[in-house]
């Protein structure tokens, strides 16, 4: 019996970390429901991927050798066929940009409920209790779903599976209806190069939407000058065109690991935190004592940045 089908994530020849986290989440659900954990890996060098995915707790890996890169139409077709053949109770996929490009379609095609961006999953065999955040991380919720469910998991919430397993590695003979493939990936492009590499900086003075106006960035630059630090930012600052893309910290920006990261007027949304949680020391300056950034900060000042930042600059002049 297949109880859980986990879908691996890969890009440009590399499995992504969340694939191993999916194995941990999937194994746990399989244990709770007393069944097997199957992993699907679709497109790319699937045999190579299958060897890597054969970690402790995996019962079977289904490989689908079709095309080089991710294509959501292919994923959707393969997954509905795998579902029909193996009838898993839970399909778990990553809450990655690609996961969100096929998982909702698969759920809808199979007429199954979907719960996204989960940070914890628990099942008693009938009811799935999924924990997720709302309001940008200000609250956490538990939600319940009966029966068969598609769930996407947030990266970094489950430990990566390790060890080697003795999974059966099976090529799955999917029938791809080419006419139903209406999307074509034509290439990739790296963005965000340029003059400064924020991932090399020892100290980052990082600014978020709390700064309000472009002109106000001046006080951030003054501070960075006084500290001989580099300026980085959260996404809205880049979206507004106030700083170039190569200054953006986060999931879709750069991953940084400075000695000190000073988050100024940044709430600490999960996509931002993904880029800076590896910083040695995190300092948050934010008027909101409940902002999610406080959960990962080492030091915090719950005060107005327009008072604190100039005062700090003065310290060093």
Partner 1 sequence: MKILVTVKEVSTVEDEFEIEGTSIAEQYLGADLNEWDDYAVEEAVQLQEAGIADEVVTVTIGPEDCEQTIRQALAKGADRAVRVWDDSLEGVDLLDVGAKTEILRAVVEAEDPDLVLTGVQSGDDSWGATGVSLAEELGFEWAAVVNHLEHDFEDDRAAVRRELEGGVEELTEIELPAALTIQTGINEPRYASLRGIRQAQRKELDVQTLADLGVDESAIEGDVTLTDMYEPESESDVTVWEGSAEETAAELGELLREKGVAP
Backbone angles phi, psi at 179, to 5 degrees: -65, -25
226 DSSP β-pair partners: none
308 binds partner 1 per the rule CB under 8 A: yes
For residue 214, the 8-state DSSP code is G
116 binds ligand FAD per the rule CB under 6 A: no
Q: How far is the CB of 248 from ligand FAD (least distance, A)?
A: 6
Q: Which is nearer to partner 1, 56 or 69 (CB)?
A: 69
Sort strands 139-146 and 127-134 into parallel, antiparallel or unpaired.
antiparallel
Query: In the range 242-261, which residues lie near ligand FAD by CB under 6 A?
Result: 248-253
Binds 254: which of ligand FAD, partner 1, none (CB < 5-8 Å by kind): partner 1
- 138 Cβ contact partners less than 8 Å away, ≥ 6 residues apart: 290, 292
Query: Is there a contact between 254 and 198 (Cβ–Cβ < 8 Å)?
Result: yes
Q: How far is the CB of 277 from ligand FAD (least distance, A)?
A: 12
Q: How far apart are the C-alpha atoms of 258 and 1, rounded to whole Å? A: 48
Which one of residues 84, 186, 213, 215 is an interface residue with partner 1 (CB under 8 A)? 186
Query: Is there a contact between 204 and 180 (Cβ–Cβ < 8 Å)?
Result: no
- The CB density around residue 159, as the number of other CB atoms within 10 Å, is 11
For residue 151, the 8-state DSSP code is E
- x-or-dash string of contact with ligand FAD, 194-233, rule CB under 6 A: --------------xxx-----------------------
123 binds ligand FAD per the rule CB under 6 A: no
Q: How many residues bind ligand FAD (CB under 6 A)?
A: 28
Binds 104: which of ligand FAD, partner 1, none (CB < 5-8 Å by kind): partner 1
């Amino acid at each position: 019996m297949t109880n859980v089908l986990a879908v691996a994530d890969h890009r440009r020849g590399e499995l992504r970390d969340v694939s191993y986290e999916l194995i941990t989440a999937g194994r746990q659900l399989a244990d709770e429901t007393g069944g097997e954990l199957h992993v699907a890996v679709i497109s790319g060098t699937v045999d190579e991927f299958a060897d890597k995915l054969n970690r402790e707790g995996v019962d079977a890996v289904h490989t689908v050798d079709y095309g080089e890169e991710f294509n959501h139409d292919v994923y959707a077709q393969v997954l509905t066929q795998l579902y029909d053949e193996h009838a898993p109770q839970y399909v778990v996929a990553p809450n990655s940009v690609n996961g969100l490009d096929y998982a909702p379609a698969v759920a809808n095609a199979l007429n199954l409920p979907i719960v996204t961006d989960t940070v914890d999953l628990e099942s008693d065999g009938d009811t799935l209790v999924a924990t997720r955040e709302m309001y940008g991380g200000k609250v956490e919720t538990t939600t319940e779903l009966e029966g068969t469910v598609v769930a996407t998991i947030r990266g970094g919430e489950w430990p990566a599976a390790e060890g080697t397993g003795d999974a059966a590695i099976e090529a799955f003979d999917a029938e791809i209806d080419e006419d139903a493939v209406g999307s074509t990936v034509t290439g990739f492009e790296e963005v965000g190069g340029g003059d400064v590499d924020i991932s090399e900086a020892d100290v980052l003075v990082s600014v978020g939407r709390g700064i309000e106006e472009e002109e106000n960035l001046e006080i951030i630059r003054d501070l960075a000058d006084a500290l001989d630090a580099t300026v980085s930012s959260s996404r809205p600052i880049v979206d507004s065109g106030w700083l170039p893309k190569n200054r953006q910290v986060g999931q879709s920006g750069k991953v940084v690991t400075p000695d000190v990261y000073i988050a100024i007027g940044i709430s600490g949304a999960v996509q931002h935190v993904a880029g800076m949680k590896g910083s040695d020391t995190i300092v948050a300056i934010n008027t909101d004592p409940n902002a999610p950034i406080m959960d990962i900060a080492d030091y915090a000042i719950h005060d107005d940045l327009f008072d604190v930042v100039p005062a700090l600059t003065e310290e060093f002049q």
